[in-house]
Amino acid sequence: MTYRIALASDHAAVALKASLVAWLRDAGHAVVDLGPEGEASVDYPDYGYALARTVSGGEADFGVALCGSGIGISIAVNRHVGCRCALVNEPLSARLAREHNDANVLAMGARLVGVEMAKACIEAFLTTPFGGERHQRRIDKLSSPTLG
C-alpha cells in the first residue's frame, strides 16, 4: 500500500530526511518534504507545526518528524490536537505506536538512529494497522481532553 507522507526536520536531521525522502519515493509513496533544505540553523517548532498542519489537514496520511534527538520536534507536533506523534528509536515502538495509539506521525532523532534503523521504524509504522476496539476509547480521549 502506498501513502501520502510528509517529512519535516530541523538542521540536525537534514541528511537523514533526504535519505528517507528518496527511499520513500522509491517505494512509491507520494512524499512532501516540508524542509528545511540546508543545514543552516532553524527552529524545530516551525517545522513541527508545519508538519502537524499538513497531517491534520488531510494533505498527508502520515508524517515523519526529525530533529537531533526527536524530542523537540515531537513536542511541537503533539501541541496540535489532530496529531498523535510518537518518538521512537526502534521498530517495536513504531509498531506499537500505530497498533495501540493510532499514531499518525513518527518522530526520530538523527543523532540517535541511523538511516537503516529509521527505515526499519518507518516500515513497521506504515505496515501496522490501528488495533481499534479497546484502544479506541483512549484515542477518543486524546482527541477530546475534556473526556478524561
Residues taking part in catalysis: 67, 100
In eight-state DSSP terms, residue 62 is: E
* 8 A C-beta contact, residue 65 and residue 105: yes
In eight-state DSSP terms, residue 39 is: -
C-alpha cell at 120: 526499519
Q: Which helix (H) or strand (E) holds 7?
A: strand 4-9
CA distance readout (Å), 110 to 18, 53, 61, 70, 118: 12, 22, 22, 7, 9
In eight-state DSSP terms, residue 135 is: G
Separation between Cα atoms, residue 32 and residue 54, nearest integer Å = 9
Separation between Cα atoms, residue 123 and residue 88, nearest integer Å = 13
